[in-house]
Structure 1
Amino acid sequence: MASACWGLPDAFCQFPAMDGKSLLLMRRTIDGTFRDIVRSWSGAIDAATAPLQIALNALERAFTSTPWIVVLALVLAIVWAGSRSWRIVAGTAVAMLAIGWFGLWRDTMVTLAMVSVCTAMAVVIGLPIGIAAARSDRMQRVINPVLDVMQTLPSFVYLIPVVVIFGIGKVPGMIAVVIYAVPPMIRLTNLGIRLVDAQVLEAAEAFGSSGRQKLWNVQLPLALPALMTGVNQTIMMALSMVVVASMVGVGGLGKNVLQAINNQFFTLGFLNGFALVAIAIIFDRTSQAFGQRLQQYRGAAHD
């Protein structure tokens, strides 16, 4: 019997998909096997994630229990050390004071703690992988497709395996943020090292430098601007993932934004969104200014 699909039989218009019973059996088998593996390794998983929980809780307590004036002074000192710009420092001061004025200081400190730990983890993981990719074309060919998949997956997809393996809580959210934020660090580390001038490397070899000495004394210092760009992008990715990670128990500004979306609280969502944007701009301007200073230093060294 012909259908409306170009007058062709139904067999040509409908894809011969797996029947419902077979699909259900396959899903139950895979899901059941995965749950059994997670349950049998639950002790090892908890032990492996315990240091992350301790580090996050310690930094969160430090940020939230320290007097706000001390935290503000520390933030401004870090911004000045990175940017050496009074305009960026003044903008940071205004933004942080506005965050406190609207009653979002504690939630902002929780978010800062989360982003700080996640960024540090992403750098620690991404830097050696990027170095390995830069030193081996075969490694780069293996890593690039993985990074392509990681950067094209929707952010919500990262929560599925993380929640199944680690459950609900801050640590699972932190792991999801790190996985989402690490690709830029790997890519830009790889790119920065590969862009180091070959003549500089030849000169280092002529002076008898080993491979390790070339990496630490030549390639990494010259690749610092690219590395700082990688850190910048990692921070931005972590901040963007914080809102999504709030679905699995991460507190802070992301939780407030999610609550505002669910309850259609325009003002609550706008204020917490403003705080997230302010933090993102502070990190972005500071890291960019620091990268530009490194670039100028590198140019002066070449001259």
Structure 2
Amino acid sequence: MDWFSEFPHMNDESLRQFKLSIDNAFRTFTRNYGDFIEGLFAPLSKFLIWAERLMTQTPWPIVLVVIVAIAWLASRNLRVVAGTMVTPLLIGYFDMWLDAMRTISMIFVCTVISIVVGLPIGIAMSRSDRLQRIVSPVLDVMQTMPSFVYLIPVVMLLGIGRIPGLIAVVIYALPPMIRLTDLGIRLVDRDVLEAADAFGCSKWQKLRNVELPLALPTIMAGINQTIMMALAMVVIASMIGVQGLGQPVLKAIANQYFTLGIFNGLAIVGIAIIFDRVSQAYGERLQKHREIVHG
């Protein structure tokens, strides 16, 4: 027996008309406001082009020295620094340097945007339980929505290109930044906050000098997860014109080039490991410093 046949539902024609009306409304919105929305993202396009040119046109020894220096300052761990040095050298040896630099520039821009957008939202959520109840379901949808779905509205609004891909990546990678900022501030010791109030700190002074520094290890974990999710979206975003290591992987899938796909996939994994180890090491150093201060 077909149990679902007894379930009340919209008939096929009504359902088709309903979907068609939504599609037509979105197309009308795109035709009327697409150019305006595209203009809003012009500064973002300039930022992405600047970051990409910086990474691709700077001589590779300088880029390598800067990456290694950042790894040392963040981790103070020789194994992490050694891995950070060897991985880019291998990527360059196998002729994937330019694509890797484009990918890194995309991840850098996505991470900066996620921090700029996610940090204030997370702070606001930590201040208001009501706002947290409103925003949390939205974040749940953003995290569970299949990543391919994000490409549909941005392509309809902005067409094919790097900016639509960037927006799709940011939407996919933003939730951890918001959630862990909210969590980190909520976990700040209430006794410390009461002491700050006793010294007459304003809300801004308390946030800047007490809450954010103490929540920084948790916020760094959010940045780490944002970077990982952005890297996971790189291959998918290459379907709509995002340059980098994702495009060779897409080409390998389309043409069954096993070696091309494996090598570029391993390059993405190598970049992910560098970002992960460096950001984790920095978060652990912040956590140890916090324990020493409060110990």
Q: CA deviation at 1:94?
A: 0.9
TM-score (norm 1): 0.94
Instruction: After superposition, give the CA deviation of every residue in 1:221-276 in whole Å (9 maximum; x if it has no partner).
Output: 00010011111000001000111111111111011111111222111111001100
Q: Aligned to 1:298, which of 287, 290, 293?
A: 290
Task: Between 218-227 and 61-70, report the one with greater CA deviation.
Answer: 61-70
Specify the alignment match of 2:59 in structure 1: 67
Q: CA deviation at 1:16?
A: 5.2
Alpha-carbon distance between aligned partners in 2 of 1:30 and 1:247, rounded to the nearest angstrom? 25
Q: CA deviation at 1:17?
A: 4.3
**Structure 2 CA distance for partners of 1:42 and 1:87, relative to 1, 3 Å:** same
The SS at the match of 2:82 is: helix
**Structure 2 residue identity aligned to 1:23:** L
Instruction: After superposition, give the CA deviation of every residue in 1:104-124 in whole Å (9 maximum; x if it has no partner).
Output: 000000000100000100111
Specify the alignment match of 1:126 in structure 2: 118
Q: Stretches of 4+ moved more than 4 A in 1?
A: 14-17
Task: Between 169-178 and 29-38, report the one with greater CA deviation.
Answer: 29-38
**Structure 2 residue identity aligned to 1:100:** G
**Structure 2 residue identity aligned to 1:224:** L
Alpha-carbon distance between aligned partners in 2 of 1:101 and 1:17, rounded to the nearest angstrom? 59
Alpha-carbon distance between aligned partners in 2 of 1:107 and 1:169, rounded to the nearest angstrom? 16
> Where do 5+ consecutive residues of structure 2 fail to align?
none
Specify the alignment match of 2:223 in structure 1: 231
Instruction: After superposition, give the CA deviation of every residue in 1:272-292 in whole Å (9 maximum; x if it has no partner).
Output: 011000000000010011011
Alpha-carbon distance between aligned partners in 2 of 1:252 and 1:149, rounded to the nearest angstrom? 28
Q: CA deviation at 1:12?
A: 6.4
Instruction: After superposition, give the CA deviation of every residue in 1:123-176 in whole Å (9 maximum; x if it has no partner).
Output: 111100000000111111111111111111111111111112221110000000
Q: CA deviation at 1:15?
A: 4.7
Alpha-carbon distance between aligned partners in 2 of 1:54 and 1:91, rounded to the nearest angstrom? 32
Specify the alignment match of 1:206 in structure 2: 198
**Structure 2 residue identity aligned to 1:249:** G
Task: Between 73-82 and 11-20, report the one with greater CA deviation.
Answer: 11-20
Alpha-carbon distance between aligned partners in 2 of 1:301 and 1:62, rounded to the nearest angstrom? 39
**Structure 2 CA distance for partners of 1:110 and 1:12, relative to 1, 3 Å:** closer
> Where do 5+ consecutive residues of structure 1 fail to align?
none
**Structure 1 residue identity aligned to 2:123:** I
Specify the alignment match of 2:36 in structure 1: 44
The SS at the match of 1:168 is: coil
Q: Aligned to 1:156, which of 136, 148, 158?
A: 148
Q: CA deviation at 1:44?
A: 1.3
Specify the alignment match of 1:241 in structure 2: 233
Specify the alignment match of 1:171 in structure 2: 163
Matched, 1:287 2:271: no
Specify the alignment match of 2:209 in structure 1: 217
The correspondence of residues 2-81 of structure 1 with structure 2, limited to 5 A, is 5=1, 13=5, 15=7, 17-81=9-73
User: Identity of paired residues, percent?
Assistant: 60
Higher Rg of the two aligned structures: 1
**Structure 1 residue identity aligned to 2:219:** L
Specify the alignment match of 1:277 in structure 2: 269
Alpha-carbon distance between aligned partners in 2 of 1:11 and 1:70, rounded to the nearest angstrom? 67
Alpha-carbon distance between aligned partners in 2 of 1:271 and 1:12, rounded to the nearest angstrom? 48
Q: CA deviation at 1:193?
A: 0.3
Specify the alignment match of 1:89 in structure 2: 81
Instruction: After superposition, give the CA deviation of every residue in 1:185-231 in whole Å (9 maximum; x if it has no partner).
Output: 00100000000000001111111112221111110000010011111
Q: CA deviation at 1:42?
A: 2.1
Alpha-carbon distance between aligned partners in 2 of 1:12 and 1:200, rounded to the nearest angstrom? 58
Alpha-carbon distance between aligned partners in 1 of 2:171 and 2:272, rounded to the nearest angstrom? 19
Alpha-carbon distance between aligned partners in 2 of 1:160 and 1:294, rounded to the nearest angstrom? 40
**Structure 2 residue identity aligned to 1:171:** I
Specify the alignment match of 1:253 in structure 2: 245
Q: CA deviation at 1:41?
A: 0.9
Alpha-carbon distance between aligned partners in 2 of 1:244 and 1:161, rounded to the nearest angstrom? 15
Specify the alignment match of 1:197 in structure 2: 189
**Structure 2 CA distance for partners of 1:140 and 1:11, relative to 1, 3 Å:** closer
The SS at the match of 2:41 is: helix
